[in-house]
């Protein structure tokens, strides 16, 4: 999500995290330090489920916001983060 109606600070803070990540990644790359941000969008968590239950979001609308047509599962996000933390994510040739 790039913006949330009625909550401009959310979109601004997400943009700030992305820019800070890009800047830090460029600054530290030559030292062999990889820097990433994980911004998965809607993920099937208890917080999102409460938002659906109290009517702040509707499931079909959430699903339509994603290219795959569904929310991410927490396990999927965790697996991506674990990969980023591993040597497999290195761009160094071995």
pLDDT, tens digit (0-9, with 9 covering 90-100), for 23-53: 999 999 999 889 999 988 889 999 999 989 9
**Catalytic entry in 3, 4, 10, 57:** 10
With beta carbons less than 8 A apart as the criterion, state whether 39 and 72 touch: no
CA distance 47 to 71: 13
Domains of the chain: which residue ranges? Answer: 1-37, 39-94
* pLDDT tens readout for residues 54-77: 998 888 888 888 888 999 999 999
10 assigned to active site: yes
With beta carbons less than 8 A apart as the criterion, state whether 41 and 48 touch: no
Sign of CA dihedral 47, 45, 40, 61: negative
Predicted confidence band at 93 (pLDDT cuts at 50, 70, 90)?
A: very low
pTM (whole model) above 0.75? no
Residue 72 backbone phi and psi in degrees, to 5: -80, 155
């Amino acid at each position: 999500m790039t913006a949330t109606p009625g909550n401009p600070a959310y979109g601004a803070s997400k943009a700030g995290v992305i820019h800070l990540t890009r800047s830090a990644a460029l600054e530290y790359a030559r030292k062999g330090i990889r820097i990433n941000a994980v911004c998965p969008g809607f993920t099937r968590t208890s917080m999102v489920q409460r938002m659906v239950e109290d009517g702040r979001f509707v499931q079909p609308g959430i699903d339509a916001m994603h290219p795959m047509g569904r929310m991410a599962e927490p396990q999927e996000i965790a697996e991506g983060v674990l990969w980023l933390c591993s040597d497999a994510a290195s761009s160094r040739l071995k």
